[in-house]
Structure 1
Amino acid sequence: MRIRATVAALSGTLALSALAVPAAQAADGPSAPLAASVAKMASGASAGDAKITKVTVNGGKDVVIGTTEKKKFTVAITATDPSGIVAGSAFLWHGPDETHVDGLITPDDFEGKCKVVNATTSTCTVTVVADPKIDFANTAAGGGWKVYANAIADDQDEAEVQGAKADARIQRYAKLTTNASPEPVKKGKTITVTGALTRANWETSKYAGYTAQSVKLEYKKKGASSYSTVKTIKSDSKGNLKTTVKASADGYFRYVFAGTSTTPSVTSTSDFIDVR
């Protein structure tokens, strides 16, 4: 795993007044300097009467990330101060505590765009970029992500929160396939329905089997409007699926995975079976 170690930019308070962010360095694993830089922000210090009242990640919706493509999403920081809010920014981090960081998602540009709510309050939105190749390990999938947020008022009062709980999960993209055979098949004969449940492995940049997961086999008769569950099976040690059913009529089979905290739900493309 490689994590982008924006150590200088993340040390202490975000320098929003200058908004000068040093170039990122790549480091293997959650380095000691990275953990130390995050730990320095644990106090959630503030100056004056500025306050951060709300932090929202991706509008509260889960973020699903594959193996190679970068994913952009937003973090919104709502803050208030009698003089008004003029700047705000944020980044996300994951780990059991500030000294053990195994995931980091930062903005390309730390300067958020602020929208005035009223004379004292603004919501500042920053776009962060998650790169599955360098930003986190598989252990960072799911909940537990935290937000470091910072806001500056017109009178230079400053507020920050270090460990705001993210209201969205970072999940590993999943794929699911279905194949029913033989085709055509005589009525009453056995149909074998195979498939595979795989998900993104951020550490290898490939897809790997999601093992021991419950997956539903669904069937829809030709001309019907909805699917019904035939049975529930579990993926094997390589994520493969296999079961048998009796041929009854022309129709469509598909596998459906309900999802977990680390992996979103996914439904395969249906496979038509011709029964004669």
Structure 2
Amino acid sequence: MTDPAQPHPHLSVARDGAVLTVTLTNAARRNAQTPSLWLALADLATTLDPDVRVVVLRGEGQSFSAGLDRAMLAPGGVPGETDMVAMAAGSAEEAADTIEGFQRGFSAWAEVPAVVVAAVQGHAIGAGFQLALAADLRVVAEDVQLAMRETSLGLVPDLGGTGPLVSLVGLSRALEICATGRFVGAAEAVAIGLANVAVPLEALEATTADLVAALLAAPDGALRELKPLLRSAVGSDRDAQLRRERAAQGRLLHGIATKAG
């Protein structure tokens, strides 16, 4: 049976009331990621206790995550993991089907009712950058280095990061960041909307805790309505979004009136 506190050898989970902290724990390899880790993240998100109000994603050590474990791209790959080279040698359709399962480790966090906060330090490259983008909010340390390096390998970001990236910074800047693979530092990340706030590394934990406390101070029902409402606003037509606004408000007003009565 899987240990709930360690659903993967390189992942730990800690619950404190309404807050769930999910930590990448392979600091010796800068929290390099593998497909089994993505599947574990997907399982965590899709089975999240509805009483959890805030999820914190973080990484141990100097880096949030240096991205895909490059050993995955060597012949034979990593023991116990999906053989990426063999997968690529099959049909394009089969590869796409396999990647769909990996993507859930990232995309599923947008669907949970809890607000997801990423605390990001050091390198967040490729899959690491995309995991940070899977969160609703990002607190970054001043040493942060964000980069999409997939294009340099002849690939594209494929773990759910393209949608959030374009939504946050716009098409032309997203294209430039991905095509060049350059690093985006803390100050630029805040300036272009990739991060909510940048703080000295030693203040990252405390600043994240302050943000979590502020989120928990908001009325639970309103916050649970707010996240999907704002997410749906991206790319939504005006009338559809107006319908969502009034429907959410109707539910909240009814709940307040019922409780008062």
| Structure with the higher fraction of residues in strand conformation | 1
Calculate the TM-score normalised by the size of structure 2: 0.24
Give the structure, 1 or 2, with the largest relative contact order (CA under 8 Å, sep 6 or more): 1
| Structure with the higher fraction of residues in helix conformation | 2
Calculate the TM-score normalised by the size of structure 1: 0.23
Q: Which has the larger radius of gyration?
A: 1
